[in-house]
Amino acid sequence: MLRVGTRGSRLAVAQTQLVASALTKRTGIETEIVRVTTHGDVNRASLATLGGTGVFATELRDALRAGECDLVVHSLKDLPTAPAPGLTIAAYPRRVDARDALCSAGGADGPGLDALPHGAKVGTGSPRRIAQLLEQRPDLEIRDIRGNVGTRLAFVTSGELDAVVLACAGLERLGNTEVISERLPLDRFPTAPGQGCLAVEAREGDEVPGVAELDDLAARAAVLAERGVLATLEAGCSAPVAATGRLADGTLAVWASVYAGDGSRRLSAAGTAPLPEGAPPSQIANELASAVAAELLDQGAAALLA
Ligand SMILES: NCc1[nH]cc(CCC(=O)O)c1CC(=O)O
């Protein structure tokens, strides 16, 4: 029996179930989902006072260290870049669509970003998404919304907002893609580092059966580069920083942007590095990330992030 820890939100449980059933399929070992109730889930209003964005991860990690479970599954996007002593990311499973989704009234038949009426009200609490939206559509009225996926979508169905922006990945894992009006293109809407990717974390030194086989090289290389940019910039996961990586044909590419909060300025840098077959990706990804981040800092990223 493998116990797989997760936050209690519907999305977190859904994505943990996907990992657990993949493990069972590979190994025949039964799995049990352990819901770790985090303070962040109990009291969202005080998220900032609880220590900000790392709060969910910290409590899951404590449960893993305490032996309450054998693995935990995180949304990589929400995981701080600082390493967790005694723990290791044992697998970055195959990534789903990393793009952001504009969800407007009418769902799949609803207007995309360019077709929203002048001054339309769009909900998101992400500084990156706010800056990206305003860069393309300075006329939009951005509303700060919080809460889980269902809560955010309800702002659109109730008519309170014209649209919300969510990650395609979460909607896919919830089986809810019919609410997507437009998948925002990665060239103008590079993603949060790690978006669309899960992280399966284990205690260092533990050999949990089947987990290593869940690791996907393309996902691992891309997210290490994306998160390397974030780490080098010393920016947190709520900073207006976007980084998108891709491994294709033996070449690892990453492109990244840092935004002024109101979308009036954007710094961008990109790079590629060959990733020879069989080479471990971490060093190459880190060097590529450092070079891209250095270019952003040369352009004045620190001032935008201050
Ligand atoms: N911050 C919340 C969060 N963390 C991960 C996802 C989506 C799933 C993913 O990126 O893997 C979401 C919701 C959203 O941004 O729509």
pLDDT tens figures, 76-99? 999 999 999 999 999 999 999 999
% of the chain residues with pLDDT over 90: 90
What topology is assigned to 1-93+197-215 in CATH?
A: D-Maltodextrin-Binding Protein; domain 2 (3.40.190)
**DSSP type of residue 109:** G
Determine the atom of ligand 1 nearest the C-alpha atom of 101. 16
Contacts of 202 (CB under 8 A, 6+ apart): 64, 70, 71, 87, 88, 90, 208, 211
Q: What is the ipTM of this complex?
A: 0.96
Say if residue 47's pLDDT is above 80: no
Among 26, 44, 146, 188, which one carries the catalytic annotation?
Answer: 146
Active site residue 35: no
Instruction: Find the catalytic residue in 7, 61, 95, 129.
Output: 129
Banded model confidence at residue 119, pLDDT cuts 50, 70, 90: very high
Q: Region 139-150: what's the mean pLDDT?
A: 95
**What class has domain 216-306?**
alpha beta
**Token code pair at residue 111:** 């207007």
Of 77, 72, 75, residue with least CA distance to 88: 72
13, 75, 99, 132: which to mutate for ligand 1, most atoms within 8 A of CB?
Answer: 75
To which H or E segment does residue 33 belong?
strand 31-35
Catalytic residue from among 78, 97, 100, 162? 78
Q: How much is the average pLDDT of 20-32?
A: 96
Fold of 100-183: D-Maltodextrin-Binding Protein; domain 2 (3.40.190)
Distance in Å, CA 237 to ligand 1 centroid: 11
pLDDT at residue 42, rounded to an integer: 54
pLDDT greater than 50 at residue 190: yes
Question: 195 CB less than 6 Å from ligand 1?
Answer: yes
Q: Is the dihedral of CA 213, 284, 227, 269 positive or negative?
A: negative
Cα(274) to centroid(ligand 1), Å: 30
Q: Which amino acid is at 231?
A: A
Output the six-digit token pair for 274. Answer: 């060959």
Whether 1-93+197-215 shares its CATH topology with 100-183 is answered yes
Residue 121 exposure: Cα atoms within 13 Å on the Cβ side: 10
Beta carbons of 120 and 111 less than 8 angstroms apart:
no
Distance 277 CA to ligand 1 centre (A): 31
Distance, CA of 240 to CA of 211 (rounded, Å): 33
Domain residue extents for the chain: 1-93+197-215, 100-183, 216-306
Q: Which residue's CA is the nearest one to ligand 1's atom 8?
A: 170
Whether the CB of 16 sits within 6 Å of ligand 1 = no
pLDDT one-digit tens code per residue, 251-298: 999 999 999 999 999 999 999 999 998 888 999 999 999 999 999 999
